[in-house]
Amino acid sequence: MSTHTFKVNGETVTVDVEDDVRMLWVLRDVLGITGPKYGCGINVCKACTSHVNGKAFNPCSVPVGAISESDEITTIEGLADGDTLHPMQEAWIDNDVAQCGYCQPGQIMAAVALVKRCEAEGRDIDDEALDEIRNICRCGTYNRIREAIKAGADNM
Amino acid sequence: MSAPTRAPKERRDVSRRRFLGYLVAAPTLVVAAELGRQQLFAPPGASAAAIPSPPQVADAYDLLDAIRDTARPTANLVKVEVNRDGTVSFALPRSDNGQGIITSTAMIIAEEMDLEPEQVNVTLADSRPELVFNQLTGGSSTTFSTFTPIRVAAAIAKGALLDAAAHLLGQDVDTLTSRAGLITGAGGSAIPFSELTEAAATDVTKQVEVALKPREEFSIIGTERGKSDARAIVTGKKQFLADMKVPDALPTVICRGPNLNSEPLSVANADEVRNMPGITDVEMVSTGVAVRAATTGQAIDGVNALRVEWDGGTVEGENDESVLEKVRAAELPLAVPSVPGETVEGDFTFYFRSNSALETNMAIADVRDGSAEIWSALKVPITVQHDIAEQLGMPVNAVTLHVVEGGGSFGRRLFGDAAKEAAEVSQKLGKPVSLIWTRADDSRQGRTHPMATSRIRAVVAGESVVSFEQRHTSVTTDFGHGLGDAATAAAAKLPLGAVGFSEAIWELTQTTPYDFGAQTRVLSEVDLRFNTSSMRNVYSPDVCTARDLIVDQIAAKMGKDSYEFRREFLRDDAMRAVLDKVAEEGNWGRSMEEGTAQGIGFHIEYKSFAACLVELDCRPETVNREIRSARTGPRVTKVVFASDGGLIINPLGYKAQVMGGINDGIAMTLTSSLHLEDGHFIEASWDNYFYTRQWNTPLDMQIFIVDSGRPEPGGVGELAVAPTCGAIACAYARATGTVPEYFPILHKEPLPFEPYPTVPPIPPSPTNGLEMAR
Ligand code: FES
Ligand code: FES
């Protein structure tokens, strides 16, 4: 076992766990932060999508040993500002996006990062940009996701 | 006792049907209800050239009726309770895996009791063996079978509260009004439900008669309402099974064999694996070797480190084509001889498809000291409870089964595969476990929609279709979950019973919506020891795909337009209204660029009629789009869907179910299938099994509700899949000039992936996630 310190959702945490345990299990099984979901464990389904230093990443594919003390991780639980939801979360509620909801934390985190990236690259949130999203929704909510991202982007 | 409703005009209306229910002896107000019965279908209409088909079983009595009728004897145990805080509680004996029935049930109760839906707490009931048949979620039946009994109970509860208020206020009950849990009398005196529930309670159970709120007065039913757990979902607070904390229930993963249903023979290095970091237990069980660890990741590492000897599984050496040969061998002959020039025929193959949800199979089990407590997402908990009791050697009442909301179902949660396994592991270890199937296991070893062929022969004479025969031959669909009761489930497990049961489901669900003269639809099955189940429908997507393709060919033979032909031969005007809606909104027949085409599909089921119009782009620049590790292929660019589902409780939830069904239909017709090779399915990832992704989904999707005023809700959970499949198949035939003969259409295209090895069984997690952050 070794000790790892980093920031999650604004709080500094220290965990005692082997270096190679993937961050998804550190978050879920060690820290009890269960917003990021398991859907594949191999960086395909994107159900675990969270942010590291503001960029979308998939904690199922990052060993805790690769995370340094200065790294700031944000999961879906840390996206809202207290009781004030992030515009993307609001858009998700307004568009009644979710079915079972299992994929949705990952979808929202991916959407926020996509909008930021497009903005930085000077691109529109058009069909081409939306087609890039790899997150699986087995309930087939894709079309509402597209609408919500456009609406959420307008308010970000 | 007179009807405890307040509006005098309701009392004068002697024609209004009355329903029976019970005031149940309890310290606070508790009400229970029995079921009613309505006639839903209008008599079929007539068309000039169409030769009326004799009534088919599913027209008069379909699967929804069967599920409701099996539910009838015990539905009076379905209870609505008024709590001391003034809220109303109802434990729904069903399973919600995202279909939104918790939200719609709260709406139904709120409507009848003049409450806000937020004032109603709907939870999922634990397994209740005394409910016998009445705890099955399937066949899109929930709203249809629970709508009336829930309303009856709610109406009686409101009546009892009004009576109690009238008594306390010393006023006539007819002068009282009830709104949002507050009963107000003349002069503004008001009493909340919270202060009435004890007064309204009874100490003897008694029968009560009640009339229900007429449809014209509905103010909640039929309005759009977002999901009750929307905020919890978007903030990550909604708890799924793996998020629940049961003390000491550590993550547990099973090492499974290389072939389908391989069983373990021996383990070479259990001690070595037991000593790996985080691992607490390694134990051989019937389906593999269980590894329990501090974290799921460590359990996965343990699984991959095991060296296990396996048997060959249940389909050793088989592949797609060898299984297809066996299905072919079981095909029954068509009855009407082929007549040259007058016969339209087709023969279609449907490959295995996975019904894996995004949340894999999971269960938590704590089996110690002669009793068992289990949590899982289960649609037929009673059957699972009986099975587990038998497996553990315990009486049924020693097994407590909690039904947890699941992350999607699509047929998977009809069975308790993970619950049974978790119970076995926990019993063997004497410790609680939180068992999770890996994605690879869920895809390779989980249940599938069985391979099938569907053959059709239609005989055409001039302007009429004289006969229409469909022969469906399939690897056996497992209905071992029965209709929710251990007795029917046991019957379905017998070899003869299973045949009878499948045929019963076939007869109860399949019906042809057209007047095609003499019709036969026959199912035959061949049991090849696959893990199967329904998948957002049992037979309909395949049956409908085959039928729509042949319908288009008959139309062409007669020189008729596909839409006009369907319109003419549909059996009644309510069906025509739905078809007309998509033709009109979708601008049917508009000129399309070469390589693109429209297609139309039509299906009836679950007391609902549904039509789908698609536009499909098969041009090379679209088909050959480059996206890494993806199936691109033809793109459905537009979908216009319309359905008449009777009374709609929540149009938003209804349309959401339709959208999901459309995306399923796209996957089933074009992209998603399992490939059987040498005794195992090769797909182990969502980048192997091509369910619809953003790059496949339509850019334009329009969903319309057609209301012909039928009084009861039909089923919608699975409705949209079949007509979408039919429409896409027809559009493909038109756009490419080739009628597809197998599905999904891309099944035999080169695989855009290298299959993962089967030993070790779980693809290792990458380590480069930070480099890919963007
Ligand atoms: S669980 Fe991380 S991408 Fe699927
Ligand atoms: S909402 Fe169920 S998987 Fe997306």
**Closest-CA distance of chain A to residue B473, Å:** 28
Among B145, B173, B143, B144, smallest CA distance to B161 is for B173
Which of B231, B257, B282 represents a domain boundary (last residue)?
A: B231
Answer yes or no: are the C-beta atoms of B697 and B757 closer than 8 Å: no
Sheet holding A11-17, edge to edge: A11-17, A2-8, A72-74, A50-52, A55-57
Answer yes or no: are the C-beta atoms of B289 and B299 closer than 8 Å: no
Please give the pLDDT value at position B144: 67
CA B205 to chain centre: 36
Q: Number of CB pairs < 8 Å for A and B?
A: 236
- Ordered alpha helix ranges (H), chain A: 23-25, 87-94, 104-121, 127-131, 142-155
Task: Measure CA of the first residue to CA of the last residue in chain A; give whole Å.
Answer: 41
Per residue in B100-145, pLDDT tens? 778 888 899 999 999 999 999 888 766 655 444 445 555 455 666 6
Average pLDDT for residues B714-742, to the nearest whole number?
A: 94
H/E stretch holding B102 reads: helix B101-113
Structure tokens given for B204:
């003897």
- Would the pLDDT of A97 be above 70? yes
| Partner residues linked to B147 by β-bridges | none
* Domain match, B245 and B226 both: no
The alpha carbon of B569 and the centre of ligand 1 are apart by a number of angstroms equal to 49
* Domain match, B502 and B410 both: no
- Label residue B20 by pLDDT band (50, 70, 90): confident
* Domain match, B205 and B308 both: no
Residue type, B594: E
- Would the pLDDT of B371 be above 50? yes
Question: Scanning every residue of chain B, which has its alpha carbon at the shortest distance from the alpha carbon of A91?
Answer: B234
**B309-332 burial: b if 16+ Cβ within 10 Å, else e:** ebeebbbeebebeebbeebeeebe
What total of structural domains would you count in chain B?
3
| Partner residues linked to B648 by β-bridges | none
H/E stretch holding B183 reads: strand B182-184
Residue B41 counted as domain residue: no
Answer yes or no: are the C-beta atoms of B116 and B87 closer than 8 Å: no
Atom of ligand 2 at shortest range from CA of B358: 3
Please give the pLDDT value at position B138: 52
Task: Measure CA of the first residue to CA of the last residue in chain B; give whole Å.
Answer: 69
Contact between chains at A138 and B685 (C-beta distance less than 8 A)? no
Contact between chains at A52 and B770 (C-beta distance less than 8 A)? yes
Q: How high is the mean pLDDT of chain B?
A: 86
Beta-carbon neighbour count of residue A83 at 10 Å?
A: 6
- Label residue B363 by pLDDT band (50, 70, 90): very high
Per residue in B151-170, pLDDT tens? 888 898 899 999 999 999 99
List of chain B residues whose C-beta atoms are within 8 Å of the C-beta of residue A39: 358-360, 439, 686
Measured on CA atoms in the order B336, B340, B344, B349, is the torsion positive or negative? Answer: positive
| Cα A115 to Cα A54, A97, A112, A122, B744, distances in angstroms | 12, 18, 5, 10, 34
Residue B514 counted as domain residue: yes
* Domain match, B115 and B217 both: yes
Structure tokens given for B568:
């003419």
* Domain match, B278 and B419 both: yes
- Would the pLDDT of B37 be above 80? no
Answer yes or no: are the C-beta atoms of A104 and A152 closer than 8 Å: no
CATH entry, A2-78, from 3.40.50.300, 3.10.20.30, 1.10.275.10, 3.40.640.10: 3.10.20.30
> Given B239, B294, B769, which is nearest A43 (Cβ)?
B769
Answer yes or no: are the C-beta atoms of B493 and B29 closer than 8 Å: no
Please give the pLDDT value at position B36: 37
| Partner residues linked to B30 by β-bridges | B24, B81
Question: SS3 helix, strand, coil % of chain B, rounded to 5?
Answer: 35, 25, 45
Please give the pLDDT value at position B483: 52
- Would the pLDDT of A129 be above 60? yes
Supply the CATH number for residue B81's domain.
3.30.365.10
Any ligand 1 atom below 6 A from CB of A64: no
Please give the pLDDT value at position B1: 34
Our mutation pick for probing the ligand 2 site, out of A49, A137, A143, counting the most ligand atoms within 8 A of Cβ, is: A137
Residue B748 counted as domain residue: no
Degrees to nearest 5, angle at CA B214 with B208 and B215: 135
Among B408, B417, B351, smallest CA distance to B690 is for B351
- Label residue B354 by pLDDT band (50, 70, 90): very high
Alpha-carbon gap, residue B146 to B35, rounded angstroms? 8
Instruction: Assign B442 to helix, strand or coil.
Output: helix
φ/ψ of B579, rounded to 5, equals -60, -45
Task: Let me know if B183 is exposed, middle or buried by CB neighbors in 10 A (0-12, 13-18, 19+).
Answer: buried
Structure tokens given for A11:
């709080």
- Label residue B501 by pLDDT band (50, 70, 90): low
Average pLDDT for residues A88-113, to the nearest whole number?
A: 97
Per residue in A1-59, pLDDT tens? 789 999 999 999 999 999 999 999 999 999 999 999 999 999 999 999 999 999 999 99
* Domain match, B336 and B389 both: no
- Would the pLDDT of B74 be above 50? no
- Would the pLDDT of B147 be above 90? no
* Domain match, B310 and B332 both: no
- Would the pLDDT of B518 be above 90? no
Give the pairing type, strands B279-285 and B88-92.
unpaired
Out of A32-46, A106-120, B336-350, B627-641, which region has the weakest mean confidence (pLDDT)? B336-350
Alpha-carbon gap, residue B368 to B362, rounded angstroms? 19
* Domain match, B482 and B525 both: yes
Average pLDDT for residues A95-123, to the nearest whole number?
A: 97
- Would the pLDDT of B210 be above 50? yes
**B666-682 burial: b if 16+ Cβ within 10 Å, else e:** bbbbbbbbbbbeebbbb
Among B98, B363, B657, smallest CA distance to A102 is for B98
- Would the pLDDT of B99 be above 70? no
Residue B62 counted as domain residue: no
- Would the pLDDT of B380 be above 80? no
Alpha-carbon gap, residue B95 to B147, rounded angstroms? 15
Residue B772 counted as domain residue: no
Contact between chains at B693 and A75 (C-beta distance less than 8 A)? no
Average pLDDT for residues B461-478, to the nearest whole number?
A: 89
φ/ψ of B169, rounded to 5, equals -85, -10
φ/ψ of B188, rounded to 5, equals 85, 0
Please give the pLDDT value at position B713: 82
Q: Bigger pLDDT: B4 or B757?
A: B757
Average pLDDT for residues B360-368, to the nearest whole number?
A: 97
* Domain match, B340 and B376 both: no
| Cα A29 to Cα A88, B296, B764, distances in angstroms | 27, 7, 18
List of chain B residues whose C-beta atoms are within 8 Å of the C-beta of residue A20: 301, 767
- Would the pLDDT of B45 be above 70? no
Q: At what angle do helices B540-558 and B562-569 cross, to 10 degrees?
A: 110
Please give the pLDDT value at position B3: 37
Q: Bigger pLDDT: B79 or A55?
A: A55
The alpha carbon of A106 and the centre of ligand 1 are apart by a number of angstroms equal to 9
Atom of ligand 1 at shortest range from CA of A58: 2
- Ordered alpha helix ranges (H), B434-516: 439-444, 486-493, 495-509
* Domain match, B80 and B180 both: yes
Please give the pLDDT value at position B629: 94
- Would the pLDDT of B495 be above 90? no
Alpha-carbon gap, residue B179 to B160, rounded angstroms? 15
DSSP state of A28: I
Answer yes or no: are the C-beta atoms of B170 and B187 closer than 8 Å: no
Per residue in B432-454, pLDDT tens? 999 999 999 999 999 999 999 99
List of chain A residues whose C-beta atoms are within 8 Å of the C-beta of residue B770: 52, 57, 62, 66-67
DSSP for B554-592, please give it: HHHHHT--HHHHHHHHBS-HHHHHHHHHHHHHTTTT---
**Closest-CA distance of chain A to residue B448, Å:** 15
> Given B356, B662, B769, which is nearest A140 (Cβ)?
B662
* Domain match, B484 and B426 both: no
DSSP state of B646: B
DSSP for B235-263, please give it: TT----GGG---TT-EEEEEE--SSTT--
Task: Let me know if B218 is exposed, middle or buried by CB neighbors in 10 A (0-12, 13-18, 19+).
Answer: middle
- Would the pLDDT of B468 be above 80? yes
Domain extent listing, chain A: 2-78, 87-154
The CATH fold of domain A87-154: DNA polymerase; domain 1 (1.10.150)
Average pLDDT for residues B349-371, to the nearest whole number?
A: 95
Average pLDDT for residues A141-155, to the nearest whole number?
A: 97
Residue B396 counted as domain residue: yes
The alpha carbon of B687 and the centre of ligand 1 are apart by a number of angstroms equal to 12
Q: What percent of chain B has pLDDT over 70?
A: 84
| Partner residues linked to B266 by β-bridges | B309
- Label residue B383 by pLDDT band (50, 70, 90): confident
> Given B240, B295, B686, which is nearest A40 (Cβ)?
B686
Please give the pLDDT value at position B56: 58
Our mutation pick for probing the ligand 1 site, out of A44, A50, A107, A134, counting the most ligand atoms within 8 A of Cβ, is: A44
Alpha-carbon gap, residue B427 to B435, rounded angstroms? 13
Structure tokens given for B193:
């439900």
Please give the pLDDT value at position B275: 98
Question: Scanning every residue of chain A, which has its alpha carbon at the shortest distance from the alpha carbon of B665?
Answer: A140
Residue whose CA lies nearest to ligand 2 atom number 4: A137
**Closest-CA distance of chain B to residue A122, Å:** 15
Domain that holds residue B302: 241-314+361-436
Contact between chains at A92 and B234 (C-beta distance less than 8 A)? yes
Answer yes or no: are the C-beta atoms of B647 and B215 closer than 8 Å: yes
DSSP for B381-401, please give it: HHHHHHHHHHHHT--GGGEEE
Per residue in B561-598, pLDDT tens? 999 999 999 989 999 999 999 999 999 999 999 999 99
* Domain match, B282 and B219 both: no
